């Protein structure tokens, strides 16, 4: 089973508005990201965050790892495609190579902790639970990846704009220019 997990539980404080509801070509980022995941053929699209139909964050204000840990508590064992909601250029060319590489529990792009493929099983659930007892950088996506083992793919020819993660209005304008 492959589950697309959209991380959409943040406060969007640097952006000044809910990033999940921002639009590209008339489609909200949440809907656009879900469509991208469905286009990959995922079996289920899940949304992390306290919004209608979402998986509420059990640990508010703990960032992406808190969202993943909250989702891990309710999702079955599966391969997850974990994506932040604020990547306006995200597409199959970014996600398919992550799904293709399954030698370690996680796969990511060089220099980019997200998006990633994550094998959700007892081991990753334990790692997430341990990280939730930590603070700061010790509870980061990179810390999770180091703890469980991660394949890092080289960016060879991949347009960096496809991996643009927009947290501020300036980053949003640049990624959507």
pLDDT digits (tens, 9 = 90+) for 54-69: 999 999 889 999 999 9
Residue % of the chain over a pLDDT of 90: 79
pLDDT of residue 9: 82
Helix axes 63-72, 122-131, angle to 10 degrees: 140
Looking at residue 83, its pLDDT comes to 98
93-133 tens-digit pLDDT? 999 999 999 999 999 999 999 999 999 999 999 999 999 99
Rounded-to-integer distance, Cα 167 and Cα 64, Å: 13
In the chain, how many domains are there? 1
- The domain that holds 65 is classified in CATH as 3.90.550.10
Q: Which of 38, 63, 32, 35 is nearest to 48 (CA)?
A: 63
**Residues in contact with 155: Cβ distance below 8 Å, sequence separation at least 6, in sequence order:** 109, 110, 111
Q: Which of 65, 144, 150 is nearest to 108 (CA)?
A: 150
Q: Mind listing the pLDDT tens digit for each residue in 127-171?
A: 999 999 999 999 999 999 999 999 999 999 899 889 999 888 889
Largest CA-CA distance found in the chain, in angstroms, rounded: 42
Range of the domain at 34: 2-175
**pLDDT at position 14:** 79
For residues 166 and 18, give the distance between their C-alpha atoms in angstroms, rounded to a whole number. 12
Interhelix angle 63-72/141-148, nearest 10 degrees: 60
């Amino acid at each position: 089973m492959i589950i697309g997990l959209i991380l959409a539980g943040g406060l969007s404080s640097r952006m000044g508005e809910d990033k999940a509801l921002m639009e590209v070509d008339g489609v909200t980022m949440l809907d656009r990201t879900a469509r991208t995941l469905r286009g990959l053929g995922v079996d289920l699209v899940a949304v992390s965050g306290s919004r209608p139909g979402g998986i509420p964050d059990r640990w508010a204000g703990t960032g992406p790892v808190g969202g993943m840990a909250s989702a891990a508590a309710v999702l079955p064992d599966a391969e997850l495609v974990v994506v932040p909601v604020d990547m306006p250029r995200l597409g199959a060319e970014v996600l398919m190579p992550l799904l293709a590489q399954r030698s370690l529990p996680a796969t990511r792009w060089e220099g980019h902790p997200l998006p990633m493929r994550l094998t959700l099983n007892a081991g990753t659930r334990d790692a997430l639970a341990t990280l939730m007892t930590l603070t700061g950088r010790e509870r980061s996506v990179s810390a999770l990846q180091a703890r469980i083992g991660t394949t890092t793919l080289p960016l060879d020819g991949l347009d960096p704009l496809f991996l643009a993660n927009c947290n501020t209005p300036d980053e949003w304008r640049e990624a959507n220019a």
